[in-house]
Amino acid sequence: MFNRTIVKELETWAQKADRKPLVLRGARQVGKTTAVKIFSGQFEQYIYLNLELPDDRKLFEKGYMIDELIQAIFFLKNKKRSKKRTLIFLDEIQNSPNAVSMLRYFYEFAKEFFIIAAGSLLEPLIDRHISFPVGRVEYCYIKPVTFNEYVAALGDISSAEVLTHVPCPRFAHEKLLKQFYQYTLIGGMPEVVRIYKETRDFCRLKPVYEALLRSYLDDVEKYARNKILARVMRHAMESSFYSAGSRIRFEGFGSSRYKSREMSEALKTLEKAMLVYLMYPSTGVNLPIIADHKKSPRLHLIDTGLVNYFAGLQKELVSTQNLNSVYEGKIVEHIVGQELLAIYQGISEKVQFWVREKKQSNAQVDYILPFRDYVIPVEVKSGTVGRLRSLHEFMDLVSHNYAVRIYSGELKIDKVKTIKGKPFFLLNLPFYLTGQIKHYLRWFLDECLKK
């Protein structure tokens, strides 16, 4: 086990005066159960219930009132009900709709207990077969390991510490960039990171990738509402690895004969399972950022390491000195997107990209982020400033003068002009600082005011 930043969010939740039962949401194998186990060390008493197990599940099928249920839980787990600070974890809660219903009663009548629930196949079932009590629970999302977590997990204390310094010192650049390339190669699935930490051997990771991919493909049968959709979803899942980072069309996706409606349902079900993310473009340059669902989305998968393995890109990544040269630059855009999606999780903070589509010419900015009163454009490039044509078009349309380039170079701020002559400030952010972008945007704006 290694620590995750999600544990800090759990600590914040536990300190709330009007704390509600917490539902941990996320795809399978991203470390929900492990995170709770680490967090449980802060409690005097920890009770773990796995609702896949008949004995644990039966507790919720007896029709007990809340106080009797609590007594039964303590009795079954050989614990003593007392004033001890107690965490109760209901794992695999999707197996018991009754347990889901009881969360409201934990909130209303048993607030002294700290209740966390999670489920490995939970997401596609929400609203279809499972309905969490409205206003009686709160949610927390967990994603694959971020770069900051990855560095800490490998035990590199100096790198983990220097990443928290704003601005990051120049002397750390080469080492951190090398580590980010390594992270891009293997990805952020916790089991992969754990095995690599123990062995430092890429070859030992193959069976881990195979097991993860097999489990996700096998889960398709459980997500689908019928056998026909299961076939479509399996094709969609397998084809997604070759389209990661690309804009897609539902009709005929993955060189298939599937129609738009059935492929759309398949991919959106996989999105509910948090295995893929359909990022829709925006055509606006002001807040709020509104996605245009009439346009083609860009496809992101749960983890770049899985994409590399499935698509056979690992050998190319091992030997490259330029991430933009791999898979037409889509892998580096994908890993940057993975980092951004891990930190922008709120409903009002969705990550999008920007397009301007005309008959004569098209423009596309890789990502746009809400920050303060601005929509900040983010380009993922290694080229010179003058080649950022789409970003220049975006900057000509906005009232502010702040933009970001994420690249392999060192941290710096440039004052440049668009092709039409509008001056603006460009934050050149190294790849390895993507996960810190909120901190750097604050620093960037403060620095620009001094100039």
Within a domain: residue 261? Answer: yes
Within a domain: residue 176? Answer: no
Quote the pLDDT of residue 346: 72
CA 149/CA 35 separation, integer angstroms: 13
Domain boundary among 90, 120, 141: 141
| 354/216 same-domain check | yes
CA 175/CA 444 separation, integer angstroms: 23
CA 347/CA 364 separation, integer angstroms: 23
Note whether 244 and 301 are within 8 A (CB): yes
Q: Quick check: helix, strand or coil at residue 299?
A: strand
Note whether 441 and 400 are within 8 A (CB): no
| 120/261 same-domain check | no
Domain boundary among 85, 111, 141: 141
| 342/225 same-domain check | yes
Split into its structural domains, the chain has a count of 2
| 241/341 same-domain check | yes
**DSSP code of 241?**
T
Within a domain: residue 183? Answer: no
| 72/212 same-domain check | no
Quote the pLDDT of residue 135: 92
CATH at residue 33: 3.40.50.300
| 237/134 same-domain check | no
Within a domain: residue 163? Answer: no
Helical pair 66-76 and 97-109, crossing angle rounded to 10 deg: 110
| 401/273 same-domain check | yes
Contacts of 336 (CB under 8 A, 6+ apart): 366, 367, 380, 406, 431, 434
| 211/137 same-domain check | no
Neighbours of 264 (CB within 10 A): 18
Residue 380 has, within 13 A of its CA and on its CB side, a CA count of 26
Q: What is the mean pLDDT of each run of 10 residues along the chain (451 residues)?
A: 90 96 94 96 97 96 95 96 94 93 96 94 68 90 96 96 96 95 94 95 93 92 86 95 95 95 94 94 94 96 94 65 58 94 83 87 93 95 71 96 95 95 97 97 95 74
Domain boundary among 124, 141, 158: 141
Within a domain: residue 241? Answer: yes
List the domain range (segments joined by +) for residue 112.
Answer: 6-141
Quote the pLDDT of residue 324: 57
Task: Give, for 32, the enclosing helix (H) or strand (E).
Answer: helix 32-39
Can the peptide bond before residue 288 be classed as cis, meaning omega within 30 degrees of 0? yes
| 107/223 same-domain check | no
| 112/235 same-domain check | no
Can the peptide bond before residue 430 be classed as cis, meaning omega within 30 degrees of 0? no
**Tokens of residue 319, six digits:** 């030997």
What are the distances in angstroms from CA 55 to CA 38, 72, 76, 90? 24, 11, 9, 13
Burial of 169 (0-12, 13-18, 19+ CB in 10 A): exposed
| 219/102 same-domain check | no
| 134/231 same-domain check | no
Within a domain: residue 324? Answer: yes
Using the Cα atoms of residue 277, residue 281, residue 285 and residue 286 in order, give the sign of their dihedral: negative
* pLDDT tens sequence across 366-415: 999 999 999 999 999 865 555 789 999 999 999 999 999 999 999 999 99
Quote the pLDDT of residue 326: 52
Largest Cα span, the chain: 74
**Tokens of residue 111, six digits:** 């607030």
Within a domain: residue 109? Answer: yes
First-last CA distance in the chain:
46
What are the distances in angstroms from CA 175 to CA 154, 158, 178, 336? 14, 11, 5, 18
